Amino acid sequence: MVSAPSYEIRPEQPVDRDDVLRVIAAAFEDRGELVADIWAGLGRHRRVGLVVEQGGHVLGHVGLSRAWVDARQALVEVWVLSPVSVEPERQRQGIGTALVAAAIETARGSAVPVLFLEGSPSYYGARGFDRADRHGFVPAALERTPRAAFQCVVFESREDWMTGQLIYPDVWWEHDASGLRDPALAELEERFASLD
């Protein structure tokens, strides 16, 4: 009988910085340095990172960063889940799923009303996320974010008036990292057309 490898999910610590940036860069391949720069840049904003560690080695990471919903009544503080990173040789072993579940529970425990992300509806939909437009939310980059890719988990603290456009911290805009641009946007819209 083969036993599953054990690992620990724990809060990211300052000593993990280099390992986290390495994992992010490796996981995102050709866009890895850009995604790592965004996570590093979010260090000047409120954020929470979780790491998967096995035998003192960081295998994966998930980040939560503060953003806002621009509701009519007031700005509402929320979390954005990004990035989720697992070392390439350890992908498809359940580590990403475990990180997403831990991120959802961390966000729920922080008393924010909503957790957002931009990503694959099939992957994240199977892990508790739903289309955000179904809950009255608008993506930060409205013209560049396919509706099916803009997703959220709504928590118990959300009130009916908490709807509106998601507002990212400036680091996302500095890196032009909200939504997509063509030709990738057109390709994704075509793939997601049946989900709209």
Domain spanning 8-195: CATH 3.40.50.170:
no
| pLDDT at 181 (0 to 100) | 81
Query: Cβ distance 103 to 75 under 8 Å?
Result: no
| pLDDT at 44 (0 to 100) | 80
CB neighbour burial string for 31-57, b if at least 16 within 10 angstroms, e if fewer = ebeebbbbbebbeeeebbbbbbbeeee
| pLDDT at 194 (0 to 100) | 77
Interval 119-139 mean pLDDT? 96
- pLDDT(186) > 90: no
| pLDDT at 43 (0 to 100) | 84
- pLDDT(1) > 50: no
71-83 pLDDT tens trace: 999 999 999 999 9
Interval 110-116 mean pLDDT? 97
Can you give the chain as a three-state secondary structure string? CCCCCCCEEEECCHHHHHHHHHHHHHHCHHHHHHHHHHHHHHHHCCEEEEEEEECCEEEEEEEEEEEEEECCCCEEEEEEEEEEEECHHHCCCCHHHHHHHHHHHHHHHCCCCEEEEECCHHHHHCCCCEEHHHHCEECCCHHHCCHHHEEEEECCCCCCCCCEEEECCHHHHHCCCCCCCCCHHHHHHHHHHHHC
Q: Where are the domains of the chain?
A: 8-195
Mean pLDDT across the chain, nearest whole number? 92
26-52 pLDDT tens trace: 999 989 999 999 999 998 888 999 999
Interval 155-163 mean pLDDT? 97
- pLDDT higher for 191 or 28? 28
Interval 120-131 mean pLDDT? 96
List, in order, residues 6 or more apart from 42 with CB less than 8 Å away: 63, 65, 169, 171
Q: What confidence tier does 5 reach under pLDDT thresholds 50, 70, 90?
A: low
| pLDDT at 2 (0 to 100) | 41
Joined tokens for residue 107: 């966000």
- pLDDT(15) > 60: yes
Query: Cβ distance 45 to 65 under 8 Å?
Result: yes
Interval 12-38 mean pLDDT? 95
Q: What confidence tier does 12 reach under pLDDT thresholds 50, 70, 90?
A: very high
| pLDDT at 188 (0 to 100) | 81
Tell me how far apart the alpha carbons of residues 154 and 116 are, in angstroms, rounded to a whole number: 9
- What's the whole-model pTM score? 0.91
Interval 114-143 mean pLDDT? 96
| pLDDT at 196 (0 to 100) | 66
